[in-house]
Amino acid sequence: MSSSDEEGSGEEYLFKIVIIGDSAVGKSNLLSRYARNEFNAHSKATIGVEFQTQSMEIDGKEVKAQIWDTAGQERFRAVTSAYYRGAVGALIVYDITRKTTFESVGRWLDELKTHSDTTLAMMLVGNKCDLEDIRAVSVEDGRSLAEAEGLFFMETSALDSTNVIKAFELVIQEIYNNVS
């Protein structure tokens, strides 16, 4: 009854999540906002850091998300299969002020499915929702694409933090639901 090993204490969760989408949609800033609460207005193509780890608690358990960011290789459509390997969740990001980035979503989804052999928790993310005055993609268009493709949907702002934590945590929760 009063064993030193409490129920569940041996369980550990580590989920790999990838962030994809066209260049400059805000992928790196979404991650830095979530993992470090930082925003960089002049971020150049990401150099170095492959992923960041962030934890949350679900059902009293520590769940770690290892969230991968591209190193700018999306500019050359050269995201490698190593990037996708083992991923159980994905954020597919577009910029609500640039329609071309929304039109690329289908290609990113194809690439994701090509490289994945497991159930993925996927969220379509319309980022930069702080820029309402130069919006080029309606909320309705975002939501209906997500519905058609079976993705969660959220508009975010890495700049003012709108929905950033929510978006990541919903994906993590869904992965947990898939595996537990």
List residues binding Mg ion (CB under 5 A). 27-28, 46
Are the beta carbons of 174 and 150 closer than 8 angstroms? no
b/e 70-83 (16+ beta carbons within 10 angstroms → b): bebebeeeebeeeb
Query: Which residue number, 70 or 176, has a Cβ lying nearer to ligand GDP?
Result: 70
Closest contact distance (angstroms) between CB of 71 and Mg ion is 8
CB-nearer residue toward ligand GDP: 63 or 92 = 92
Give CA–CA dist 33/115, Å, rounded: 27
Give the nearer residue to ligand GDP in terms of CB position, either 97 or 116.
97
Positions in the binding site for ligand GDP (CB under 6 A): 23-29, 40-41, 43, 46, 127-128, 130-131, 157-159
Q: Which is nearer to ligand GDP, 92 or 158 (CB)?
A: 158
Shortest Cβ 171–ligand GDP spacing (Å): 17
Q: Find the angle CA(66)-CA(70)-CA(73) to the nearest 5 degrees.
A: 160
Give least dist CB 156 to Mg ion, A. Answer: 15
- Joined together, the tokens standing for residue 115 give 């490289």
Among all residues, whose Cβ is closest to ligand GDP? 26
Residue 23's binding partner out of ligand GDP, Mg ion, none, with CB under 5 to 8 Å set by partner kind: ligand GDP
Cβ 83 to Mg ion shortest distance, Å: 13
Q: Which is nearer to Mg ion, 111 or 174 (CB)?
A: 111
DSSP string of 126-156, one letter each residue: EE-TT-GGG--S-HHHHHHHHHHHT-EEEE-
Q: Confirm if 153 and 124 have CB atoms less than 8 A apart.
A: yes
Residue pointed to by tokens 């390997």: 85
